[in-house]
Structure 1
Amino acid sequence: MTFNSKLLFSLFALLMLVMVACTNNEEPTTENADNKQTSEVTETTETKEPAQEMILATTTSTQDSGLLDVLIPIFEEKHNVKVKTIAVGTGQALAMGEQGEADALLTHAPSSEEKLVESQDVVNRKRVMYNDFIIVGPKADPAGINGADVKTAFQKIFETGATFVSRGDDSGTHKMELTLWASAELDPTTESWYLETGQGMGNTLQLSTEKEGYVLTDRATYLAHAKNFNHMVILVEGDDVLLNIYHVMQVNNEKHNLVNGGAGKLFVDFMVSDEAQAVIKEFGIDQYGQPLFFQYTE
């Protein structure tokens, strides 16, 4: 082999060594970058706290109106709390609180709520909002109650035997209805024209429509469903006794040790906050031309 040939061979061998070295240097760099990126993702995932969970027991009127569909996502995002909503009659919701089966309550039966405050099953009870009860019936108004006060309206329904549909479920609305009958010194529960559904306000309104009967309902649920029954109208409203006040409260975790007291308190504070109250103030105006609830915080 000539000198020139040896020189060329040496240069070629040196070039190959350099290329191999560069390749080896690049691979660890890529691997290190991947490892670093994976580490950062893992660290981010590990540092994010899992969402708390809480149970809200509430009346069907807050659910049927659609208000909770707006408020709860805001609360969940703000506080990293996942809310399971159980919409039942107020009586059932309060029973859940009494048994420590919920973390917060949103109901509208003040006298029944006060009993749970006295027994210390609930704490931190606050007024949130109000609307009103109304008596709805067919446009034909067979009992002739249009424009009457509540007592007179119930007396006329009783005297004429016109169909009346009751929730019959121990809800806040049902409790109010029974109070109104009692105030008129009447008991319709054994009469054939008095029908009980044992269901929520939406289903009770539907049955009253089918039977062309009278029904006591909260205004919010009526407005939310009014498009489904054009022949039903508001006949009695505005009486002072028809005021419908909603309270929020946390179930007492010191008495019920399985209750998430922290999340319950967060929910109570949120519902009376300026942010939630602003939503309540405007809710329903775009769709119904009037709010479904009014602010009523302490």
Structure 2
Amino acid sequence: MDRRRYLQALGVGSALSVAGCLGGSDGSSAAIADQTLTVAAATTVNDSGLLGDISAGFKDAFDTTVRAVVRGTGAALRTARDGNCDAVFVHARPLEDEFLRAGHGVNRRTVMGNDFLVVGPPDDPAGTAGSDPLAAFRAIASNRATFLSRGDRSGTHVRERRLWDEAGVEPTGNWYRETGQGMGATLIAAGETGAYTLVDRGTFLNTETDLAAHVARGLDDPPDLLRNEYAVIPTNPARHDVAYALAMAFVGYLTGPGQGRIETFRVDGERAFRPLARSEEPDFDQYVPAEWAP
């Protein structure tokens, strides 16, 4: 399918038009100057407000065009698998591993992290406040308190399903509802219906609702079940005609000067993410599927 028609059919999340200055596939600046970088980005990156900030920074640094197709992580990876974007910016390691093992993406890099929160009505009818996430999920189920799931194979939905599994609960019944929508829309719906939901910190801070965060362990060192890691992965240029040089420039920006932008990004004065790309001892596992062995 023609990518221009594909993007028009989907609806493009953002477009920033400028001129390029990086070397293209033939090594020349001119080869990249007229190209457009298409990034399939998780809805949480967009709904937090960070995507626009990062895109503006990339525009200033490289003077090129960026288009963002905003989707849940599963759909974003499918966009790359079909050759309809140059890179993905996502946050579901199990789905990323499938994508990498199948050879659809190359050169994965960890970019940043934050944490997941269990949020719900301020009066907390299920009594979740201060609990660990598994106890909170069990309390929601035992009290049959309304819970809204994204139900869309996004990064947040993948983590939610892991929490139910580890809590030993199969959520069924009228109290458990799937929205099939992005994080911001799901959070607003939870606020309007007095429901609980699982949300990333960035979207929670950037979305106005009456919901309270009942399970929150902090941005800097959350427990594994609440840790939320984001990565950038270029689409494999051996399989699709993609703007690979621009995709690698985006990787370089996110893991280089973009780290400072992520560190200083605030929502109403509060930190929403923490940069993770810079380390004197980089983690080899970030480049390959988890539990990889030669």
**TM-score range normalised by the length of the shorter chain:** 0.7 to 0.9
Distance, in Å, in 1 between the alignment partners of 2:245 and 2:119 is 41
State the match for 2:39 in structure 1: 56
State the match for 1:182 in structure 2: 165
Is 1:51–1:80's contact at 8 Å kept on the other side of the alignment? no
Q: Deviations along 1:30-86, whole A, 9 cap, x unmatched? A: xxxxxxxxxxxxxxxxxx954311210010111111112111122123223211101
State the match for 1:9 in structure 2: none
Query: Following superposition, which runs of at least 4 residues in structure 1 exceed 4 angstroms of deviation?
Result: none
- Among 86, 108, 113, the alignment partner of 2:91 is 108
Is 1:91–1:171's contact at 8 Å kept on the other side of the alignment? yes
The total of aligned residue pairs comes to 243
Q: Which runs of 5+ in 1 are unaligned?
A: 1-47
Distance apart, 1:233 and its partner CA? 0.6
State the match for 2:285 in structure 1: none
Distance, in Å, in 1 between the alignment partners of 2:128 and 2:41 is 32
State the match for 1:291 in structure 2: 271
State the match for 2:12 in structure 1: none
TM-score normalized by the length of structure 2:
0.80
Larger mean Cα displacement after TM superposition, 50-59 or 127-136 = 50-59
State the match for 1:266 in structure 2: 249
Report the secondary structure of 2:214's partner residue: strand
State the match for 1:235 in structure 2: 214
Is 1:136–1:216's contact at 8 Å kept on the other side of the alignment? yes
Report the secondary structure of 2:163's partner residue: helix
State the match for 1:86 in structure 2: 69
Is 1:89–1:200's contact at 8 Å kept on the other side of the alignment? yes
Amino acid at match of 1:132: D
Distance apart, 1:137 and its partner CA? 0.6
The Cα RMSD (Å) is: 1.4
Distance, in Å, in 1 between the alignment partners of 2:39 and 2:114 is 21
Distance, in Å, in 2 between the alignment partners of 1:147 and 1:62 is 27
Distance, in Å, in 1 between the alignment partners of 2:53 and 2:76 is 21
Amino acid at match of 1:138: P
- Among 208, 221, 237, the alignment partner of 1:253 is 237
1:30-41 matched pairs, under 5 angstroms: none
Distance, in Å, in 1 between the alignment partners of 2:59 and 2:88 is 16
1:213 is aligned to 2:174: no
Distance, in Å, in 2 between the alignment partners of 1:263 and 1:229 is 38
Distance apart, 1:93 and its partner CA? 0.4
Distance, in Å, in 2 between the alignment partners of 1:80 and 1:147 is 47
1:69-148 matched pairs, under 5 angstroms: 69-148=52-131
Distance apart, 1:291 and its partner CA? 1.2
Higher helix share: 1
